[in-house]
Amino acid sequence: MTKAENPPSYPLDHLALRGAADAPALLIGDAPMSFADLDAGVGRLAAWLSAAGARPGDRVASWSAKTRAACLMPLAAARAGLIHVPVNPLLKAPQVAHILADSGAALLLTNRARADMLGDGLPGGCALRDLTAVEAAIDGHPERLPPSAGDPGDLVAILYTSGSTGRPKGVMLSHANLWLGAESVATYLALGADDRVLAVLPFSFDYGQNQLLSAWYAGAAAAPLDYLAPRDVVKAVARHGATTLAGVPPLWVQLVEVDWPVDVAASLRRLTNSGGALTPSLIDAMRATFVEADIYPMYGLTEAFRSTWLDPALVAAHPTSMGRAIPHAEILVCRPDGSITADGEAGELVHCGPLVAQGYWRDAERTAERFRAAPAASTWGGTAVWSGDTVRRDGDGLLYFVGRDDAMIKTAGNRVSPTEIEDAAVATGMVYEAVAFGVPDARLGAAIQLIVRGKADADREAFAAELRRRLPNFMQPKAVEWREALPRNPNGKLDRVAIAAEWGAGVAA
């Protein structure tokens, strides 16, 4: 079998050249940035990063809300030959310190409040620059770097994602990974230059970052939004005339519960979902609320960006399907020996093709577990992502999710590592052991349940306060249960399945 050829891709910063020069590219602040403004701002910010001491190949982290700097950094870092490390603004100091140290970041761009919160967690060798200087550079730096001529295969970003064990790991992405991901999404969503994409998801996620990249690939405008309440989203759709909105199931639950002016809801042409499955009842509510919009259920994993999408025309008849492979992805359902399953037979989802990431940053062991040789039946060959997710394929080629073979908790659209929560609980010094798992929740998808074996003199309110200090909001347990003893298996290890079963929930992902 002949290996498929990679489609053409370009340095990521060339996305600033995709739209008409005078067309809006970024709807932020008092005046929109045109594509000409975007390219100029990217060039000035790239030059400023170089003047600040960042050298090609350095990792540069950004930790902020959806400022202009946050929007331009993916392209500016690419233009300067740097590797961008976007940090989720919801993370607390311990998680951020780990990401900075693990990535070996040479530079952190953030505001004073976040820098103060980080305190002595800033690693040695990592310089700090305030966002006010970054914003000023976008408008006024005296030099501009021209569009880059880098190799599309070069590393351009590291996105940190939680694993089922241990601390967050950095997924290495090339220019080609991100460029082709933008092209793929813009293609199957049929985005056009007249579209306006409301970007509500965090840019530290591949799904969130792609809100910008796919819009710019299509020559469309992106409108970044940090929202506190669902009504903020309604107002932003009205303000920008948004045509496209990406979300996760908990957000859709909130959005269908608020009142939408008919004309505002009607401006939305397409709704995309990932980060958890839509239920048939939620799909019905979305269709009733956004009567003019097409719904695009999708499935993805950071290690390969996006794997499948369901054509809106099939949603009514197949509401629980993951759909089929997106452009530039080859999706196989495999048995443990790598052979392809029969229709209706469950197997592991294996993603092949040019969207596959370059592995985990400085983590050969975990890279070898997830990134392995493609099955013999693959057209692409090379390295594939073995997802760990069990799916089945029907006779029409549509895929359906069956289950996950790890203990990841998918809550409010976030993938959360139980081990990270457990480590934080034990680190308080108030408990001896802890087990975290997900339980079904109508609003969150899964809520976090924490079972602990606590110390006799532990102050439970102080324990809860310490967890709030150490963990971001989306990692906070919904409930904590204190026990004097926890079940163990014959090897003496905590029996997680038994603990969850005793609680009455089973292990939910």
**Chain length of the chain:** 509
Share of the chain above pLDDT 70, in %: 96
Looking at residue 341, its pLDDT comes to 98
Domain parsing of the chain, residue ranges:
1-174, 227-404, 409-503
- Quick one: angle between helices 206-217 and 68-79, nearest 10? 80
Q: How far apart are CA 334 and CA 316, in angstroms?
A: 28
Looking at residue 164, its pLDDT comes to 44
Q: What is the pLDDT of residues 341-363, one digit of tens each?
A: 999 999 999 999 999 999 999 99
The count of other CB atoms within 10 Å of the CB of residue 222 is 28
Looking at residue 417, its pLDDT comes to 79
Query: What is the bridge-based pairing of β-strands 127-130 and 107-110?
Result: parallel
What b/e sequence results for 22-48 when a residue is b if at least 16 CB atoms lie within 10 Å of its CB, and e otherwise? ebbbbbbeeebbbbbbbbbbbbbbbbb
Q: 36: which 2 tokens? A: 């000409």
- Does the structure show a pLDDT above 90 at 371? yes
- Does the structure show a pLDDT above 50 at 509? no
Superfamily (CATH H level) for 227-404: ANL, N-terminal domain (3.40.50.12780)
Looking at residue 86, its pLDDT comes to 98
Looking at residue 497, its pLDDT comes to 78
Looking at residue 500, its pLDDT comes to 83
pLDDT classification of 309: cutoffs 50, 70, 90: very high
Q: Who's near 214: CB < 8 A, 6+ residues apart?
A: 181, 182, 183, 185, 186, 189, 191, 197
Q: What integer is the mean pLDDT of 427-447?
A: 90
- 1-174 topology per CATH: Rossmann fold (3.40.50)
CA–chain centroid gap for 258, Å, is: 26
Element (H or E) spanning 422, and its range? helix 418-427
491 SS3 class: coil
Looking at residue 168, its pLDDT comes to 83
Q: How far apart are CA 14 and CA 8, in angstroms?
A: 13
Looking at residue 481, its pLDDT comes to 94
pLDDT classification of 162: cutoffs 50, 70, 90: low
- Quick one: angle between helices 460-470 and 418-427, nearest 10? 130
Contact between 472 and 451 (Cβ < 8 Å): no
Q: What is the pLDDT of residues 491-500, one digit of tens each?
A: 556 787 788 8
- CATH number for the domain whose boundaries are 409-503: 3.30.300.30
Q: What is the pLDDT of residues 185-224, one digit of tens each?
A: 999 999 999 999 999 999 999 999 999 999 999 999 999 9
Looking at residue 291, its pLDDT comes to 97
Report DSSP letters for 42-110, one per residue: HHHHHHHHHHTT--TT-EEEEE-SS-HHHHHHHHHHHHTT-EEEEE-TT--HHHHHHHHHHHT-SEEEE
Q: What integer is the mean pLDDT of 156-179?
A: 86
Residue type, 21: A
Looking at residue 30, its pLDDT comes to 83
Looking at residue 281, its pLDDT comes to 87
Q: What is the pLDDT of residues 37-58, one digit of tens each?
A: 999 999 999 999 999 999 999 9
Same fold yes or no, 227-404 and 409-503: no
- 297: nearest Cα among 318, 264, 273: 273
Q: Who's near 262: CB < 8 A, 6+ residues apart?
A: none
CA–chain centroid gap for 200, Å, is: 12
Looking at residue 2, its pLDDT comes to 60
- Does the structure show a pLDDT above 50 at 508? no
Q: How far apart are CA 366 and CA 362, in angstroms?
A: 9
How far, in Å, are 301, 321, 344, 345, 422 from residue 399 at the CA level?
15, 6, 9, 11, 34
Q: What is the pLDDT of residues 81-122, one digit of tens each?
A: 999 999 999 899 999 999 999 999 999 999 999 999 999 999
